[in-house]
Structure 1
Amino acid sequence: MSVTGWAGRARLRPGGVVYGGAVGSATAHAHHSVQVIVALGGDELLMAGPAGEPFRCRAYVVPSGVRHSVLGGVPRGVVLHYDPLSTAGRRLAALAGDAGDLVPDALPADPFEAACALDSVLPQGPLPGAAPHPGLVRVLDWLPGREHVRLSQAAAVACLSESRLAHLFRAELGLPFRPYVLWLRLMRAAELASQGHSLTDAAHGAGFADGAHLSRVWRRMFGIPPSDFTRTIQWM
């Protein structure tokens, strides 16, 4: 049975989101996080890739910055978001694509409990690839809470040239500097909204001009309106 709406329980954690419940449709979008999306109970998701090509899957790993959409959801599912530089994010990005083999057969019946259980399992395993550049790590530690920051300021923190830092953002995060800062602001707005603030207050608190600006960015990165985030999802 295909589902279009979202309704469930979720928890924000450093670098991402843990969600369990009805997985609804989402228009074409791309986000900074590495995403794992899973259909429970033997159902399948109907998704589309970067070129709009539809496919069905039980579970799928979407790498950072890859455009995708959910054409048909499921009544019970799991969505997990990871920072691409985290242990889990880097491991999962190396396994991008169909992820049916990553999902244990025995998961709790409750979707949110299943999401938490899966979240505790997926980060295991060896860390692929080289460690991120230390200058980039310094900037990533420094950026949160700075809604309006210039590349020149970040380059000074990294002790790198602006061009070198810009290259590192694209090469190691898969995202240019400005969109990454925008992603941090979006996560701040999500945190405020999950605490009960109105979308307008959340927008202002995260450095957006107004609620309409937040809504446009939200749809571009998540494929759903932010009202779904506040009205039909219970935050734990």
Structure 2
Amino acid sequence: MQAPPLKRPTSDQDHKGTVFLWQDHWQVLGQLMPNRSHRHISASLLVGLDRPFRLAVDGEWRETRAAIVAPDVPQALEPGEARIWIAQLDPDSVYWRSLKYVTAGMASTDLSLTGVDLPDPEETDCEAMAGALARVASQSGHAPVALDDRIAAICGKLRAELPDRLELNSLAQSVGLSSSRLTHLFRQETGVPLRRFLLHLKINRALAFWEPGISVSRLATEAGFYDQPHLVRTARDMFDALPSAYVAAGWFNVCRCGLDDQALSDFSR
């Protein structure tokens, strides 16, 4: 099926939605734009709050009211007029590990959210959005899938330190593994390659620290990318766009929920 035509934000757009940012996931709420095939390292929870939308997974389009897409799976969105709630869940997050059972090993599956109290399309409160996601996760009826303690430690270390380069040998030694065993185990436990997970964390940092007047080149440097083109290529692969472009155009408000205030302050200097 042919992909939908794309729109891009312009500077005269009214706010169409809100982005909510946490350390291990982020959410988008509102009227979204269609996009082409891209691969999030995070798992994607997509919900049409007032009507169905069209979703492509691995190139196959379908209409759905709610769906989950596993990490690192090609997807594209045609929201139409629907107001959409999307939660991007890091592959080590408790939310994805709670919902993972629902997919039964498939790349994507539709969800039934009957009886679940979903967020209001105009919601702007971090606590309310966190509560909505927790209700969806709890509806799965499963405890979170266990994550190997060594892999959990690696995820935490990378998220806290966000190194410029992946020092695989040193990282593996820190949890008592060989580099080859760590590479295999990380992919087995999270569903994503270790190097792409680090790129995902860097993209999240760039989005979280974006402010009016900050150049893409500075974002690239501060988030640990080699250069501006490296940031842009990674963003287009993972989002089909540079997320800051939508924020800059005024398409989204940004709520920084649960982020490190000191780090944000240091970055803005």
C-alpha distance in 2, partners of 1:44/1:230? Answer: 28
Any idea what SS the aligned residue of 1:28 has? strand
Q: Does 1:216 align with 2:233?
A: yes
Looking at structure 2, the residues matched to 36 and 106 of structure 1 have their Cα atoms a distance apart, in angstroms, of: 13
Deviation at 1:3, TM superposition (A): 8.7
Matches within 5 A, 1:1-236: 4=7, 7-41=16-50, 43-50=51-58, 52-96=59-103, 97-101=109-113, 104=116, 107-110=119-122, 112=124, 115-124=129-138, 125-129=141-145, 131-144=146-159, 145-193=162-210, 197-226=214-243, 227-231=245-249, 232-236=251-255
The answer to whether the 8 Å contact 1:3/1:74 transfers is: no
> TM-score of the superposition, structure 2-length normalised?
0.77
Query: In the aligned structure 1, how far is the partner of 2:212 from the partner of 2:129?
Result: 21
Check whether the contact 2:18–2:252 (CA below 8 A) recurs between aligned residues. yes
CA distance 1:66–1:116, change in 2 (3 Å): same
Following TM superposition, by how much is the alpha carbon of 1:234 offset from its aligned partner in structure 2, in angstroms?
A: 0.9
- Contact 2:42 2:71 survives alignment (8 Å): yes
User: Are residues 32 and 106 of structure 1, via their aligned partners in 2, closer, same or farther at CA, if it must alter by over 3 Å?
Assistant: closer
1:102 deviates by 6.1
How big is the alpha-carbon RMSD for the aligned residues of Structure 1 and Structure 2?
Answer: 2.5
CA–CA distance in structure 2, aligned partners of residues 110 and 120 of structure 1: 19
TM-aligned CA deviation for residue 223 of structure 1:
2.1
SS at the partner of 1:193? coil
Tell me which residue corresponds to 2:264.
none
Q: Supply the distance in 2 between the matched residues of 1:133 and 1:154 (Cα, whole angstroms).
A: 15
Shift of 1:64: 0.8
Alpha-carbon offset, residue 10 of structure 1:
1.3
Deviation for aligned residue 1:189: 1.1
Render the CA deviation track for 1:27-72: whole Å, top value 9, x for unaligned: 111112111111121x21111111x111001111111111111134
Give the Cα–Cα distance (whole angstroms) in 2 for the partners of residues 106 and 220 of structure 1. Answer: 30
Residue 41 of structure 2: SS of its match in structure 1? Answer: coil
TM-score by length of 1: 0.87
Q: What secondary structure, in the 3-state scheme, does the structure 1 residue paired with 2:83 have?
A: strand
Cα displacement string for residues 194-217 of structure 1 (whole angstroms, at most 9, x for unaligned residues): 586332221110112333321211
Q: Is the 8 A contact 1:76 1:111 kept in 2?
A: no
Structure 2 runs not aligned, ≥5 long: 10-15, 104-108, 256-269
After the TM superposition, list the runs of 4 or more consecutive aligned residues in structure 1 that deviate by more than 4 angstroms.
2-6, 111-117
Distance of aligned partners of 1:57 and 1:5 in 2 relative to their CA distance in 1, 3 Å threshold: farther
Distance (Å, rounded) in 2 between the aligned partners of 1:187 and 1:126: 28
